[in-house]
Amino acid sequence: MTSTTSRARRAGIAAFVGTTIEWYDFYVYATAAALVFGPLFFPSGDPLAETAAAFATFAVAFLVRPLGGIIFGHIGDKLGRRVSLVITLLLMGVSTVLVGCLPTYEAIGIVAPILLILLRALQGLAVGGEWGGAVLMSVEHAPAGKKTFYGGFTQLGNPAGALLASGIFAIMSRFGDDFIMNGGWRIPFLLSIVLVAVGFWVRYRVEESPVFEQKVEGRKQTMPLAFALRVNWKPILLGIGLLPISTGGYYLATTFATSYATGEPISMSPQLILDAMTIASFIEFVVTLPVAWLGDKWGRKNIMYIGLVTSVLTFVPFMLVLPGKVEPVIFLLASLVRIAMSATYAPIAAILAQMFRPQARYTSIALSYGVGAAIWAGFSPWFATMLIAWTGSVWSVIFMFIGMALLAGLCTWLAPQHSDEAPVTDSFTPRTDTTAARTL
């Protein structure tokens, strides 16, 4: 038991460190897209058009995430989770550092946004393979009855990465907008090289997943993608439907909210909203593991339902108070939204992992999460920006958020939860044991 717990702890810490770095890289780009990439890489004289163009490049990463899931899912199902995760970490780090080295549109013209899009696509490939593998390393190492808690270590990387990204931009904002626009924005990207070196050392020392080791002793799948699409297509679709708030809603409450608050006609100080987001990220970081622990006590699906309801109840007033610029209320609601959303994000690792059987599980979860993120997270900030332009009212975004929450709730209710001890067959009838049943 001690050995199992020790391995689970090391895997959880490695998943946390690796996903923190991956999400830091991702959120650095998201924050830069909301604040500076429009005028630097897509100058048009129209702030709304510049922001929309920057968010379009933000969406590129989500469009290629399913491809990343297929590529690295294949590697993870054939060669092992650890091999795949080391590659994704290095790919993300290199592409992020190169973004920090890019000349702007003013220097090299149209080539600048083209290179930015290409590097954003590489980020998408890396994240497409990263999240699913990190989830499996933490959940598959976890003892029975603690899978949601250990899966929460992977989810802990999201607020930690967001905290680092928004924190460093919040610090730089104190030097003024000119500092950020005139090269300061490059600093967070270049710092990624230090984080990647640390993450590589931590991740390389973790043992391979015990579920993968057991699987390779038995029947191996020649084509994990074919197996996933033939056997797991129903839970893959349900997994996509699980994610609107966990992924898309999150970016509405962070990236879109930052752009909406700092743009016309609100024109809030970037320092104010970045400070609010930094504190909210810290609070989310603190509550994520306790929420995941509750998932094992109360049922991971029940925690998801609570998160969906409270996300709506906090997101609506948060969006409505932004034009008033009342700082204490903005800080409070920004944090409450993130607490609520942690209940939709902390249990999602275990929910998705246990929706699929061990064989082709990496490919299945990566494909489900990659496609879901492409649909919900990739386009939510852009579509919300367009809704504001078309309707002139933030209520259009609020109604979209409510619809996303309803879909996520329905798919959560329909999602199967299977045991790793179930026998592997080609039919879609995996056994659910009593331990798995208690965590629904």
Q: What is the pLDDT of residues 8-67, one digit of tens each?
A: 888 888 888 888 887 888 788 878 887 888 888 888 777 777 777 777 777 788 788 889
With bands split at pLDDT 50, 70 and 90, how would you rate the model's confidence at 97?
Answer: very high
pLDDT in tens, 333-382: 999 999 999 999 999 989 998 898 777 888 899 889 888 988 898 788 88
Whether the bond into 265 is cis, omega within 30 of 0? yes
**pLDDT above 80: residue 3:** no
With bands split at pLDDT 50, 70 and 90, how would you rate the model's confidence at 295?
Answer: very high
- Residues in the chain, how many? 440
| CA proximity to 283, closest of 329, 339, 337, 347 | 339
Is 30 strand, coil or helix? helix
Domain span at residue 196 reads: 2-438
The confidence score (pLDDT) of residue 92 equals 86
**From residue 92, how far is each of 37, 129, 271 by CA, in Å?**
19, 10, 28
Judge residue 220's burial from the number of C-beta atoms within 10 Å of its C-beta, 0-12 exposed, 13-18 middle, 19 or more buried. exposed
Instruction: Name the domain count of the chain.
Output: 1
CATH of the domain at 288: 1.20.1250.20
pLDDT in tens, 99-131: 999 998 889 988 988 898 899 899 888 888 888
**pLDDT above 90: residue 142:** no
Q: Poorest-confidence range of 159-168, 353-362, 407-416, 431-440?
A: 431-440
Q: Poorest-confidence range of 99-113, 220-234, 388-402?
A: 220-234
The confidence score (pLDDT) of residue 215 equals 59
CA–CA separation, 426 vs 221, rounded Å? 11
pLDDT in tens, 156-187: 888 888 888 888 888 888 888 789 888 899 99
Identity of the amino acid at 390: W
Return the higher-pLDDT residue of 306 and 266: 306
With bands split at pLDDT 50, 70 and 90, how would you rate the model's confidence at 220?
Answer: low
The confidence score (pLDDT) of residue 429 equals 41
Q: Poorest-confidence range of 130-139, 162-171, 210-219, 285-294?
A: 210-219
**From residue 423, how far is each of 140, 219, 359, 431 by CA, in Å?**
16, 12, 11, 7
Which helix or strand (DSSP H or E) is residue 282 part of?
helix 270-298
Q: Which residues lie below 8 Å from residue 79, measured CB to CB, with a gap of 6+?
A: none
Judge residue 247's burial from the number of C-beta atoms within 10 Å of its C-beta, 0-12 exposed, 13-18 middle, 19 or more buried. buried
